[in-house]
Amino acid sequence: MSQLEIVRSFLAEETEKQENYRILHQLAGCEENGVESYLLTLLCDPEEKLGQLAAKVLFSRNPYLKLTRRVAAMKPVSSLEYGAENEQRWQELITTGLSDFIKMHGDNVSAYIPLTHFPALHQLLVERLEEAGLSAVAKSFARLVNLNQEQERRELIFVPTYLCNLSCPYCYAKNWHHTFGGSATRETIVRLLDWAQTNFITTISLAGGEPTVFRDFAFLTEELRSRTMKLTMASNLLFSPEIGAYLQPELVDFVTAHYDQEYIGNSGLHDRYCRNFAELCKKKISARIRYTLTVDSNPDEWGNILDLCADFAVDSIHFSLTFLNYDRSNTRPFGENELERKITLMGEFCEDALSRKVRPVLCKPVPLCYFSPERMKKYLLEDILQNGCVAMDAHYSRNITVNPDLSIFPCNGLARKGPEITGFASLQEAGSYFKKFISGLEARPFFPQCSSCFYGQNGLCQQACLVEKIQTEIKRPEPV
């Protein structure tokens, strides 16, 4: 009798619950065929805990199931060179696994809910349901996971100014104040907010530059208040108490608080950041600490920032790595010959953060092959990695950014200038404007080996921020 059969017959009998859980764990390392399909069938077990455990075992065997399959898949080549060990289980999941599940549950819409926890399967489940003639269930599931972005975005990114009170060398918007139209005027703000209201936008997300140095910050917040719109923002938190007074919980939903390395040796800047962070907490405005790893980062540097997390009882830290920005105007990015250092630093930072009970969350996609299989598994299961960005989900960019002069970008990192937002009939229409540009970038391999990679072929790895893809296109030859 195979191990799978033993587990199957054991669970088919009425046995003691704890014993059931123990025996199911044995499947975590089982190499036999059929395990994936069996675990899928258990997801809907009437005993909820058994279903949850089956999901856990499935993830531990196939951590890539946490990844969203939404980026353009690479044109397949005959043999896989990277991640090939996943192929057999993946094929079982998407063929017999999904079809057995569909046969078992038919048009019982609620039975498919456990599969919402497996982003890699969303799109394929919808396709299989359509093939099985269960169109209504397919539509309902697609709506549930927002596969086709039917739930329209109600948030719009706006840069009131590219001016800043700091001059971080790695900033992606370095010198954009000169390139992209200075600061907004009162007239443009009113025009933008009128358009936003007409398009049912509920939240304006301020980016920059530093939004709080915008000369008409008070006017902007008043306009938002009078329209009962909300605000989120990315800030370096160096604002004065007067500006801080405008940030009240009924207006501000969320603040991403960038802590720059420069603060570490400067008690004035550090204290001001801490005071403003504490104030936001006191007002019960959600705030998260954001950190950027540069070529010069080291454990002492991020140790200070992790201390800050401890001081504020913050249990996660969002971070990204510097890269050459769109118009190559920033400095201290990781160069090609620093690739190894970049990967090592990222790993060391993540391990240090985890050892201090702070979950590091990487804000941009990076090549999954940067990590060893063990590390990748750990980071996927801990929700540290993200595999795709919102510059182009299913149909349109959810990161459309409005410049001070109301012209748009496909996202705040990709500075390709488009027309004024007010010329579009909807946010969705504005987000589709760059579709060709973005799709082209998505489909282009970052490394030549991406097309012979399990993650690349299945659209599970976006490889890198699209801005990085543009830059490497210049440095690397197209793969053959």
Q: Is it true that the peptide bond before 83 is cis, omega within 30 degrees of 0?
A: no
Distance of CA 382 to the CA centre of its chain: 14
> Whole-number minimum distance, CB 388 to ligand SF4, in Å?
8
Distance in Å, CB of 160 to ligand SF4, minimum:
19
d(CA 34, CA 39): 9
In the complex, least distance from residue 373 CB atom to ligand SF4, rounded to whole angstroms:
11
466 is an interface residue for ligand SF4 by CB under 6 A: yes
Cβ closest to ligand SF4, residue 289 vs residue 392? 392
**Residue 450 touching ligand SF4 (CB under 6 A):** yes
- Verify binding: residue 11, ligand SF4, rule CB under 6 A: no
User: Which residues contact residue 172 at a Cβ distance below 8 angstroms, ignoring those fewer than 6 apart?
Assistant: 325, 326, 330, 412, 413, 467
Closer to ligand SF4 by Cβ: residue 156 or 389: 389
Q: Does 68 bind ligand SF4 (CB under 6 A)?
A: no
**Residue 456 found at the interface with ligand SF4 (CB under 6 A):** yes
Residue nearer to ligand SF4 on the CB measure, 30 or 120: 120
**Alpha-carbon gap, residue 419 to 290, rounded angstroms:** 31
Per rule CB under 6 A, is residue 174 in the interface with ligand SF4?
no
C-alpha closest to that of 440 among 398, 473, 407, 474: 473
Q: Which helix (H) or strand (E) holds 234?
A: strand 230-235
By CB under 6 A, name the one of 69, 364, 377, 444 that touches ligand SF4.
364
Output the smallest distance, CB 325 to ligand SF4, in A: 9
Spatial contact of 122 and 459, defined as CB atoms under 8 Å apart:
no
Of 179-187, 293-301, 330-338, 458-466, which segment contacts ligand SF4 by CB under 6 A? Answer: 458-466
Q: Name which position in 368, 408, 427, 470 contacts ligand SF4 (CB under 6 A).
A: 368
State which of residues 37, 212, 463, 472 lies at the interface with ligand SF4 (CB under 6 A): 463
Closer residue to ligand SF4 in complex, CB, 290/364: 364
**Closer by beta carbon to ligand SF4, 306 or else 380:** 380
Q: Provide the CB-side half-sphere exposure for 42 (13 A, CA).
A: 25
| Interacting positions 78-107 with ligand SF4 (CB under 6 A) | 82
Task: Tell me which residue of 421, 402, 411, 419 sits closest to 441, measured CA to CA.
Answer: 411
Q: Which of 53, 125, 406, 414 binds ligand SF4 (CB under 6 A)?
A: 414
Q: How far apart are CA 413 and CA 322, in angstroms?
A: 12
Contacts of 333-339 with CB under 8 Å at 24 or more apart are: 333/170, 333/294, 333/295, 334/294, 334/295, 335/295, 336/472, 336/475, 338/295
Q: How far is 256 from 45, CA to CA, in rounded Å?
A: 40
CA distances to 63, 66, 126, 141, 327 from 120, in Å:
10, 6, 12, 14, 34
In the complex, what is the shortest distance from the CB of residue 470 to ligand SF4, in angstroms, rounded to a whole number?
9
Residues 112-141 that bind ligand SF4 (CB under 6 A): none
Contact pattern from residue 384 through residue 403 relative to ligand SF4, giving x for each residue in contact according to CB under 6 A and a dash for the rest: -----xxx-------x----
Rg over CA atoms, the chain:
24
Q: Where are the beta strands (DSSP E) in 294-419?
A: 316-321, 359-362, 401-402, 408-409
Shortest reach from residue 414's CB to ligand SF4, in Å: 5
SS3 content of the chain, % helix, strand, coil (to 5): 50, 10, 40
Q: Which ranges constitute the DSSP H helices of 62-161?
A: 87-92, 98-105, 119-131, 135-144
Q: Is residue 461 a contact residue for ligand SF4 (CB under 6 A)?
A: yes
Candidates 6-14, 103-111, 443-451, 472-480; binding stretch for ligand SF4 (CB under 6 A) = 443-451
Is there a contact between 232 and 255 (Cβ–Cβ < 8 Å)? yes
Total residues at interface with ligand SF4 (CB under 6 A): 25
When asked if residue 447 is in the footprint of ligand SF4 (CB under 6 A), the reply is yes
Binding mask 319-358 for ligand SF4 (x = CB under 6 A): ----------------------------------------
What is the smallest separation between the CB atom of 339 and ligand SF4, expressed in angstroms?
Answer: 12
Which residues would be at the binding site for ligand SF4 (CB under 6 A)?
82, 364-365, 367-369, 389-391, 399, 411, 413-414, 446-447, 449-450, 453, 455-456, 461, 463, 465-467
